[in-house]
Structure 1
């Protein structure tokens, strides 16, 4: 559901009691946590119980399972996930009662009132990792920033926290235009690679949204000049009078690196900042993580911190939930889980998985996310998955959309070339189907933005019992 952002976003302290519809999601749970830590009365609901709801309850936030208009008694502000539909009973009650009804972006923007120095991390891919890396880097340099991240970060112990310093590091999502409402002092751009065309309508409109985002920035932009889409934004930023700091692995840039190598589950490189070399060892495998780390290092330097101290913090980053997350081993099979759902993300994570597999057979289990995205990118998804040794594709995760009989998992499976590929049906049956495909020594990676994340643990349990 698209809810308009008000012309004037009140500071969070003036919102009264806040109710979140979809509080179990990464975005809303982050906002709820920070509001509660700042002293607001916060509550929320979600369609089903989860570990996230349990952790929120442990922090004193009341969480309901299921949606009911009665939950809004005494509520002053309602903040809703974009995945919520128009006929949701809590949406209908908020409209009937005339309660302030905001989208997620307005809720996050309400936390950015001065004296906060907002640092917004944008881009099609890598936002979560870069936001988390920058937060870890700043903590390593002795800062205590507030942060709101789109996933649980084990090394931080949470996805959000209200820090003691004025710096506020936020993951700035472009999927629904949220990032256009934050007006950050500093912005990071990882890349610009067409996505969410169901919202934006065209590649041109999607890229124009990033240019509009740059127009909201007050001071500085840090971007990966290796990426053509991000590189085009450099001139937009300079024309707006902003300081521009470039990062590159393949292209001459302000912050660069040499000696990049992936060894097992680690990535090693030597960063070069202002002509000074700084060794980096990252506890995550993959070239794309090196780019994210350089962005974090560059942004931390813009904020006035020493590269050596920032590098120490980056060394503490141990990955994010659903970002090539190791789930366990059973029956000689190692299982990892990834949020990758766009062809570019699939290419990057399967390349990293190939490094981790180190010669073992690689099995990719993919759940397409959204009918609209599969319609546009299904063939490219299949091509990307061809990097595995065997591919299984489960049914599309519909989220807020309705099914289309002409757009199915088979479309993706048919586009896989050179390796066996199977459309294996509902996600609930995937673990049983995989038991007939995997064998000892395999590395299995589950990929997708939906409930595919549940398949790995079920597969491990089945393998253990076998």
Structure 2
């Protein structure tokens, strides 16, 4: 790996205007552009901590969307950057940019430009991208590296979602939701899982799965594809592409216990999980690493600071990815234990009256189920020491009307893993309301006790009436349900949660 800093920005990216600059992905891109000497302007619907932080770094940001936002940089921007999902094509700044002949690029295209000259590690999959990417970044940092990175959440260690590093490695998420991961030509790819999602864009499961095959074909010769052999979708991907990738000099490696290894014949299990034990809010995994070119297999212990077997698997995938871009196995594996979490991934928000409140971004049935299972395991481990078994209380906000319709049965089954649930109304995000589609669609299919809470101003009080000491409350969803954690704690402190 080179220790030289990345090359100067290409001319087109020296003056960039970003529509929706406060978003998780866009703000990270802005940080890297600024760190590499670019001029950045932007706009967003509202102020926030991220906006203020970017201003201190030199970005010029206007609140509100208006064509005048394009005039903040001397001479105007050389390019305008936007996102497919969050910003409509009718946005006045995008309309003005096109009328002025200013190129409009999607964020992944710009991120791909910033990766040029780096050895790239990209994390893909339906679930777990942010956590796995974050673990890989922290592990590499703990091992003495200084990678550039761009992730979809803020690392608890540094409080940032992006960084311009100096050792020639770039670590990032590869988002499949709109097919934009095909902008990248990576060296190393980790695929955590493949599960049906984003049917509003792809239209069918076959089309969704196909984008991962196409992405695997974009791995550079001499690179590596890492797949989870405990996920049927990821294992099947390995089975489909291993032979043709090998013909191009791309290694395909597996990890996990190997539950679906038969779907990937010929793919070696380079990191076999032999045991996993929950400890406190995390877990300890014993893994046998058998890496190509290594002098035999070696067993390593990996400590994970977040609960759930899925997080242990994410840690193993992150370790393999970190090693594939040049990290030393022992130091990278040890570095996983330095990971302190990421914003909105099983994030502890506080305790009141013996009740814990945790926030998580889970917004797909598989993610909701994994988080609730992890919470159950955490409570069981705690009960063995305190002698009292608490309950899992899920507070879920469906995200998107289309996803609610497509997965109503699956959401109900996932939430049935809780002891009781409160379901808010749908957070529509970019979608318009659909008659007859609400949180009730999920509740009507559930078997555990559940409460419909369409009014968020009353939700905290409804939760407080349900809970009792020893319970763990989880706010779940990709919308503004994250703001309810402090409200729930206040409501509990005011008299809720007192039942025995």
Write the distance in 2 (CA, Å) between the matches of 1:353 and 1:44.
39
In structure 2, what is the equivalent of residue 262 of structure 1?
A: 278
Unaligned runs of 5+ residues in structure 1 are 1-9
In structure 2, what is the equivalent of residue 6 of structure 1?
A: none
In structure 1, what is the equivalent of residue 45 of structure 2?
A: 47
1:18 to 16, 19, 34: 16
Are the equivalent residues in 2 in contact too, given 1:215–1:237 (CA < 8 A)?
no
TM-score, structure 1 length as denominator?
0.94
Q: Secondary structure at the match of 2:257?
A: coil
Point out the more displaced range, 216-225 or 46-55. Answer: 46-55
In structure 2, what is the equivalent of residue 315 of structure 1?
A: 337
Write the distance in 2 (CA, Å) between the matches of 1:316 and 1:80.
34
1:442 deviates by 2.2
1:259 deviates by 2.5
In structure 2, what is the equivalent of residue 238 of structure 1?
A: 243
Q: Find out whether 1:330 has 2:332 as its counterpart.
A: no
Write the distance in 2 (CA, Å) between the matches of 1:63 and 1:212.
37
Write the distance in 2 (CA, Å) between the matches of 1:272 and 1:386.
35
- Higher Rg of the two aligned structures: 2
Unaligned runs of 5+ residues in structure 2 are 1-7, 262-268, 291-296, 381-388, 496-500
Are the equivalent residues in 2 in contact too, given 1:12–1:35 (CA < 8 A)?
no
Q: Secondary structure at the match of 1:158?
A: coil
Write the distance in 2 (CA, Å) between the matches of 1:441 and 1:410.
28
Distance 1:364-1:436 versus aligned 2 partners, 3 A rule: same
1:12 deviates by 4.7
1:86 to 86, 89, 97: 89
Superposed CA offset, 1:281-318 (max 9, x none): 11111100111111111122222322210122111101
Write the distance in 1 (CA, Å) between the matches of 2:57 and 2:245.
43
In structure 2, what is the equivalent of residue 4 of structure 1?
A: none
Are the equivalent residues in 1 in contact too, given 2:14–2:37 (CA < 8 A)?
no
1:44 deviates by 1.6
In structure 1, what is the equivalent of residue 207 of structure 2?
A: 205
Write the distance in 2 (CA, Å) between the matches of 1:226 and 1:220.
18
Q: Secondary structure at the match of 2:153?
A: strand
Pairwise mapping of residues 136-175 of structure 1 onto structure 2 (< 5 A)? 136-175=138-177
Write the distance in 2 (CA, Å) between the matches of 1:259 and 1:463.
38
Q: What is the aligned-residue RMSD (CA, Å)?
A: 1.6
Distance 1:143-1:211 versus aligned 2 partners, 3 A rule: same
Q: Find out whether 1:68 has 2:69 as its counterpart.
A: no
1:19 deviates by 1.4
Pairwise mapping of residues 32-431 of structure 1 onto structure 2 (< 5 A)? 32-73=30-71, 74-81=76-83, 82-113=85-116, 115-218=117-220, 219-235=223-239, 236-241=241-246, 242-251=250-259, 253-274=269-290, 275-358=297-380, 359-417=389-447, 419-431=448-460
Pairwise mapping of residues 454-465 of structure 1 onto structure 2 (< 5 A)? 454-465=483-494
In structure 1, what is the equivalent of residue 480 of structure 2?
A: 451
1:13 deviates by 4.8
